[in-house]
Structure 1
Amino acid sequence: METMQIAPARLCGSIRVPSSKSLAHRAVIAASLCQGKSVLRGVDLNDDVRATLAGMQALGAQAAWQEGRLAVQGLHAGERAQGDCLIDCNESGSTLRFLIPLALALWGEATTFIGRGNLGKRPLDPFFEIMRAQGLPFSHEGDPLCLKVRGPLQSGKFALRGDISSQFLTGLLFALPLLQGDSDIELTTPLQSAGYVELTLDVLRDFGIKVVPTPGGYHVPGGQHYCAGSYAVEGDYSQAAFFLVAGALGSDVAVQGLRADSHQGDRLVMDILQRMGAQFNWTGDALQCRAPQGLRGTRIDAAQCPDIIPPLAVAAALACGRTEVVNAGRLRIKECDRLSAIAHELGALGAHITEQPDSLIIDGVASLSGGRAFSHQDHRIAMMLAIAATRCDKPVLLQEPGCVSKSYGNFYEDYQKVGGVCGR
Structure 2
Amino acid sequence: MPDLPVRFDAVVHPTARLSGTVQAQPSKNYTTRFLLAAALAEGESVVRGVASSEDAEALLSCLRAWGARIELSGGDAYVTGFGARPSPDTRLEVGNAGAVARFLLAVAALTSGTEVVTDSPHSLGQRPMGDLLAALTALGLTVQSAAGGRLPVTVSGGPALGGPVSVSAEQSSQFLSGLLFAAPLLERGLDITVTGHLRSEPPIRQTLDTLRRFGVQVEAATDLRRIRVPGAQRYQAGDYRVPGDYPGSAALLVAGAILPGEVTVAGLDPHDLQGERLALDVLREMGTDLRREGDAVTVRGGSPLHGVTRDGDPFTDAVQVLCAAAAAAEGCTTWHNVATLRLKECDRISDTRAELLRLGVQARETADSLTVCGGAVRGNVTVDGHGDHRMIMLLSLLGLRASGPVTITGAHHIRKSYPEFFAHLQALGARVDVLARS
Same fold (TM > 0.5): yes
Q: Aligned to 1:90, which of 95, 100, 106?
A: 95
Letter in 2 for 1:53: L
TM-score (normalised: structure 1):
0.94
SS in 2 for 1:157: strand
The residue number in structure 1 matching 2:174 is: 167
Letter in 2 for 1:321: G
The superposition leaves residues 32-73 of structure 1 with CA deviations (integer Å, 9 ceiling, x where unpaired) of 011100011110230011111222222211100234421000
Q: Aligned to 2:230, which of 221, 226, 233?
A: 221
**Mapped partners of 1:68, 1:375: distance in 2:** 28
Q: 1:162 to 1:4 in 2, by over 3 A?
A: closer
Deviation >6 Å, runs of 4+: none
Q: 1:327 to 1:370 in 2, by over 3 A?
A: farther
Report matched runs for 1:338-353 at 5 Å: 338-353=348-363
The residue number in structure 1 matching 2:135 is: 130
TM-score (normalised: structure 2):
0.91
**Mapped partners of 2:219, 2:101: distance in 1:** 25
SS in 1 for 2:349: helix
CA contact (8 A) 1:350 1:370 kept: no
SS in 2 for 1:191: coil
Q: 1:283 to 1:104 in 2, by over 3 A?
A: same
Structure 2: gaps of 5 or more residues: 1-6
Structure 1: gaps of 5 or more residues: none
Letter in 1 for 2:156: R
Q: Aligned to 1:111, which of 90, 112, 115?
A: 115
CA displacement at 1:366 relative to structure 2: 4.7
CA contact (8 A) 1:55 1:88 kept: yes
User: Percent of aligned pairs with the same residue?
Assistant: 35
Report matched runs for 1:10-21 at 5 Å: 10-21=17-28
**Mapped partners of 1:182, 1:403: distance in 2:** 38
SS in 2 for 1:312: helix
CA displacement at 1:109 relative to structure 2: 2.8
The residue number in structure 1 matching 2:418 is: 408
Report matched runs for 1:3-402 at 5 Å: 3-9=9-15, 10-77=17-84, 79=85, 81-82=87-88, 84-105=89-110, 107-116=111-120, 117-141=122-146, 145-152=151-158, 153-214=160-221, 216-251=225-260, 252-290=262-300, 293-402=303-412
**Mapped partners of 2:113, 2:341: distance in 1:** 35
**Mapped partners of 1:173, 1:282: distance in 2:** 34
CA contact (8 A) 1:137 1:150 kept: yes
CA contact (8 A) 1:249 1:290 kept: no
The superposition leaves residues 170-212 of structure 1 with CA deviations (integer Å, 9 ceiling, x where unpaired) of 1111101001114211112342211111111111111111101
SS in 2 for 1:338: coil
SS in 2 for 1:319: coil
CA contact (8 A) 1:183 1:222 kept: yes
CA displacement at 1:353 relative to structure 2: 0.9
CA contact (8 A) 2:105 2:116 kept: no
CA contact (8 A) 1:199 1:264 kept: yes
State the number of aligned residues: 421
CA contact (8 A) 2:123 2:345 kept: yes
| 300-309 or 402-411, larger mean C-alpha shift | 300-309
**Mapped partners of 2:378, 2:283: distance in 1:** 20
CA contact (8 A) 2:359 2:381 kept: yes
The superposition leaves residues 364-393 of structure 1 with CA deviations (integer Å, 9 ceiling, x where unpaired) of 115554522111121111111111111111
**Mapped partners of 1:253, 1:304: distance in 2:** 25
CA displacement at 1:214 relative to structure 2: 3.0
CA contact (8 A) 1:91 1:115 kept: yes
Letter in 2 for 1:418: L
